Amino acid sequence: MSSTNRGRSRNISDYYITPEEEINKFLDKFLGEHSFERHCRILDPCAGGDSIHPMAYPNALEKHGFTNITTIDIRPDSRALIQEDYLHYQIIGHYDLIITNPPFHIAEEVVRKAFKDIAKNGTIIMLLRLNFMGSQNRKGFWLEFPPDEIYIHSKRMCFTGDGKIDSIEYAHFVWHQEKMNESDKKTRIVWL
């Protein structure tokens, strides 16, 4: 999800390559605070990748020792194991961790579906625009799904590979399923 190249036609399926170095900054901090079995079931439902680029999240996760990663992407040229539309794909079982950079135009729907596909003690992580928190249209969504943690990237990202940074800020939003029903839930902010 990128706001790069506004005024030009968007990439097919809103596909922009997530900078792996920014994923690693997040994972280093996040995994330093939370423990996960390296063989837990992980899903990247918007995995991306193509003939030139690896799938960013699976690649970063593998470098952090994770091995059980299922990948889905709607694009037929993706390196994902499953070429399907995640929003219409029937998941078998539940995942311990769902992590991705969803296309901006369907980000809310991806998060909502992830809550159906996550294990009862699982974690959902989405890279979203920080301004995704704004909008009257999403107010109900945030009241229903307040995040537990927001890891704000202090450096603007380049999603196009040409060195040009994006025009807005991004954050990894984290939901821990076991905390979803806490009545006094508060969101913790972390700066990267």
Phi-psi region of 135 (alpha: psi -120 to 50; beta: other; left: phi over 0): left
Of the candidates 156, 158, 99, the residue with the CA atom closest to the CA atom of residue 130: 156
Please give the pLDDT value at position 159: 67
What's the confidence (pLDDT) of residue 167? 76
Which pLDDT score, from 0 to 100, does residue 6 have? Answer: 47
pLDDT for 5 equals: 47
Which residues of the chain have a pLDDT value below 70?
1-15, 157-163, 166
d(CA 160, CA 19): 9
59-77 pLDDT, tens digit per residue, is 999 999 999 999 999 999 9
The model scores a pTM over 0.85? yes
- The pLDDT assigned to 185 comes to 79
pLDDT of 10 reads: 47
CB 48 within 8 A of CB 18: yes
Bridge partner residues of 127 (DSSP): 172
The runs of H, that is alpha helices, within 34-161 are 56-63, 107-117, 139-144
